[in-house]
Amino acid sequence: CFMYVCYGFVFGWKEAGYSIIFQFLSTKAISGLYQRYAQITIEFTTSKPQLVIDSFMTTCRHGMSVIEAYGAYSHQKYYICKSVVSAYQARDIIAEVRKADPKVIVNTYKTASFYGNFYQQPIE
């Protein structure tokens, strides 16, 4: 902010305004493109794994690991379905899975790095 005030005094307020607009638009563009490459891990905890798997697989082309778990409080068998997806896909995937199983528990967290076969949808 201080830099733009100095810029305004030296070169004029009109040019400073253009610089502010350019900075804002370029930051938004980079932020939007970054979402394509940012990866997150999604965990679905459910008692109906096949519903989760089917809705997940129809929404995206990523693999999923399914882990059988045991609820300490409920003493019931649960399944943890995990996958790494692009951050921009997460909202659509979660919405579809929650339609299939409204009682699913969803946990997401940032993935620092992922090594392996990660499908990246081509830019259209």
114-123: which pairs have CB atoms within 8 A and are 24 or more residues apart? 114/39, 114/84, 117/63, 118/39, 118/62, 118/84, 119/60, 119/61, 119/62, 120/86, 121/61, 121/86, 123/36
Task: List pLDDT tens digits, range 61-109.
Answer: 888 999 999 999 999 999 999 998 888 889 999 999 999 999 999 999 9
Q: What is the pLDDT of residue 68?
A: 97
Task: List pLDDT tens digits, range 40-55.
Answer: 999 999 999 999 999 9
Give the separation between CA 37 and CA 113, rounded to whole angstroms: 11
**Pairing, β 39-46 against β 105-110:** antiparallel
**3-state SS, residue 106:** strand
Q: What is the pLDDT of residue 97?
A: 96
Second CATH level (architecture) for the domain 39-110: 2-Layer Sandwich (3.30)
Checking if the pLDDT of 58 tops 60, the result is yes
Higher pLDDT, 19 or 69: 69
Q: What is the pLDDT of residue 79?
A: 97
Domain ranges of the chain: 2-35, 39-110
Checking if the pLDDT of 27 tops 90, the result is no
Checking if the pLDDT of 119 tops 60, the result is no
- Give the containing element (helix H, strand E) for 70: strand 65-70
